[in-house]
A and B are shown apart, each in its own frame.
Chain A
Amino acid sequence: EAEVAQSPRYKITEKSQAVAFWCDPISGHATLYWYRQILGQGPELLVQFQDESVVDDSQLPKDRFSAERLKGVDSTLKIQPAELGDSAMYLCASSLLDRHNSPLHFGNGTRLTVT
Chain B
Amino acid sequence: KQEVTQIPAALSVPEGENLVLNCSFTDSAIYNLQWFRQDPGKGLTSLLLIQSSQREQTSGRLNASLDKSSGRSTLYIAASQPGDSATYLCAVVMNRDDKIIFGKGTRLHILP
Contact = CB atoms under 8 A, between A and B. Distances in A.
Interface of A: 4, 6, 33, 40-45, 56, 91, 93, 99-109, 111
Nearest to A4: B43
B44 A43 contact: yes
Closest 5 CB pairs of A and B: A42-B102, A106-B43, A103-B46, A106-B44, A100-B31
Nearest to A40: B104
B32 interface: yes
Chain B interface extent, by class: 20 to 34
Name, among B4, B32, B44, B100, the residue most crowded by chain A CB atoms within 10 Å (CB to CB): B44
Given A41-B104, A91-B43, A93-B43, 4 more contacts: A99-B31, A101-B32, A104-B36, A108-B43
5 contacts: A91-B43, A93-B44, A100-B51, A104-B34, A104-B100
A60 B26 CA distance: 25
